[in-house]
Amino acid sequence: MAMLKVENLEVYYGMIQAIKGISFEVNEGEVIALIGANGAGKTTILHTVTGLVEARAGSIEFEGKNLLKTPAHHIVSMGMAHVPEGRRIFQELTVLENLKLGAYTRNDKKEMEETLRMIYTKFPRLEERKEQIAGTLSGGEQQMLAMGRALMSHPKIILMDEPSMGLSPLYVSEIFKIIEEISSSGTTVLLVEQNAKKALSIADRAYVLETGKIVLEGNAKDLINDDSIKKAYLGE
């Protein structure tokens, strides 16, 4: 059974249909990439899955449970974390305070300390800067903080929206290396990413979106070599 199953999803903003009856699934342990041009509907899909935007039709199931009937704040405690586009960290708080907020659904203090240690192992820079005000971090460090904060809830699946946006090439490589590590430590990943080449290089499967529809899907390694994909998204 798929961990996350989206069927015939339709989403509107007022009169405009943003998502036009799409279906896709994410199996446990996979890295799935959603790629497509700006405005294709990638972010809207993530927002609908995590309960931030309402669907007009279709279904979203997570481990067999209907997410469309679940309030957004309950979705986190079911094991889903969302790293939003633009990072959305708490600029005025310290790095440590941001991380602790990621664990608000968990009450076990000892477990939280252990998770924090695990986060610091993955992101040594966050430990170095734990007392620093988050708004003073560089873009790449803020992205790491957003990812670390999401991991504090021990998610079964993590949804990432444009993690490489606006970062220097060095940070882009580092962020993608961390996504691979997150995946290999057992967390399922649904990745929305403008950098199609990077996304396909680490994904198992991918779905290509155009104006609210899925126009292509398949094994990421095949898509990377697909001529139409190369032309449209890989700048070749």
- For the domain covering 1-79+157-165+190-236, report its CATH number: 3.40.50.300
Q: What is the mean pLDDT of residues 111-127?
A: 88
Q: Which DSSP state fits 224?
A: H
Question: In the chain, where are the structural domains located?
Answer: 1-79+157-165+190-236
CA 52/CA 74 separation, integer angstroms:
12
CA 47/CA 33 separation, integer angstroms:
15
Q: Which DSSP state fits 58?
A: E
Q: How far is CA 1 from CA 26, 80, 136, 234, in A?
A: 10, 17, 44, 32
Question: H or E segment at 42?
Answer: helix 42-49
pLDDT of 168 over the 80 cut: yes
- CA-closest candidate to residue 148, choices 171, 169, 125: 125
Yes or no: say if 131 and 94 are a contact pair by the CB < 8 Å rule: yes
Least confident span in 14-18, 30-34, 194-198: 194-198
Q: Give whichever of 39-43, 59-63, 80-84 has the largest mean pLDDT.
A: 59-63
pLDDT of 236 over the 60 cut: no
Q: Which DSSP state fits 156?
A: S
pLDDT of 87 over the 90 cut: no
Q: Which two tokens stand for residue 209?
A: 């979106």
pLDDT of 105 over the 80 cut: no
The pTM for the full model equals: 0.90
Q: Which two tokens stand for residue 150?
A: 């999401």
Q: Per residue in 192-223, pLDDT tens?
A: 998 898 999 999 999 999 999 999 999 999 99
